[in-house]
Amino acid sequence: MEENDTTGTDFLLAGFPMTWEQEVIAFFVFLFIYVLTVLSNILIIALVRVDRCLHKPMYFFLSNFSFLEIWYISCTIPKMLSDFLSKKKSVSKNGCIVQFYFLFFCGAMENLLLSVMAFDRFIAICYPLRYPAVMNDTTCSRLAGGCWITSFLIMLLPAVPMSQLPFCGPFIIDHVFCDFAPLLKLSCIRNSLSEISFLFLAWVVLLGSFVLIMISYVFIISTIVKTSSGSGKQNAFTTCSSHLLVVFLYYGTVLFIYVRPSAQATFDVDKVVSVFYCMVTPLLNPLIYSLRNQDVRSALKRMIIKLRGLKRKESMSSL
């Protein structure tokens, strides 16, 4: 007989089918990726703050993006690390709902912020004379703040009803974290407000942001081709290609999982794809921006030179 009273009940996360030795290896691999991701994003934030050459709207949004990526990967990986070394991979109902909320709060924020970054490049390339007036400090702060506040509020729409749903046993989530479809599968009620609102937001936020980004880049590429010289085209395309690469990496995975009916969920495939967008893309994003962006590379070199100079002064003063 199935239970539907989840008061005081823990959910079990199925995770990946691995032996103990494989879980230990996965623990160290995931830990290395997590630490590297956090440190690389902190480095970008520090560079934008201390280097005056990066005090531009583009890098202001990039520092917000790096801060978001630290939150994004921290929603899932620490719990996964503890599960690798635990025999009982359990999570409370409230803990699961909280993880679900913050995971998709960060996801909504990433969509909105990528759209704002595309808008920034659109104004910079298509209307360069108006760019300083349009993208001033006040506008940038309002755009970034609007993304954070909007993401925080809209994800309450599916999360609050989800917390009120009755769940039927056995309480096993066939995933590595509290994702929407596997969590909804445990619900005793289908076509609930949580499911309807989540699918609505997935279509509006995901597809809406993606369409806006693509429209922006149609105008951007058209303007570059028409007006720029040979070197100007190369510089413009280099600046935009980093953002486009991040966009395609992110949307290539999340559109596959979330813009579809939940009945078509294939959890074995979803586990691998989910790990990619929750762990691999936050690692690749700072590497893409730092390796492909000349301003960031130059700022990093200047920071290294300054640190070496400080070390030399300290060593000279100690003699």
The pLDDT tens digits for 107-143 are: 899 999 999 999 998 998 889 899 999 999 999 999 9
Helix ranges, 127-229 (H): 131-134, 137-154, 156-164, 180-185, 193-201, 208-227
Q: What is the reported pTM?
A: 0.85
The domain locations on the chain are: 10-318
Look at residue 191 and tell me whether its pLDDT is greater than 70. Answer: no
Look at residue 292 and tell me whether its pLDDT is greater than 90. Answer: no
- Give the confidence band of 263 by pLDDT, cuts at 50, 70, 90: very low
Beta partners for 10?
92
- Give the confidence band of 22 by pLDDT, cuts at 50, 70, 90: confident
What's the confidence (pLDDT) of residue 314? 67
Over residues 79-97, the mean pLDDT reads 86
What's the confidence (pLDDT) of residue 179? 84
Q: Which CATH superfamily is domain 10-318 in?
A: Rhodopsin 7-helix transmembrane proteins (1.20.1070.10)
The pLDDT tens digits for 32-74 are: 999 999 999 999 999 999 888 888 998 999 999 999 999 999 9
What's the confidence (pLDDT) of residue 178? 86
Q: In what order do the strands lie in the sheet with 172-173?
A: 90-92, 10-13, 172-173
What's the confidence (pLDDT) of residue 54? 87
Three-state DSSP class for residue 19: coil
Residue 22: CB atoms within 10 A of its CB come to 12
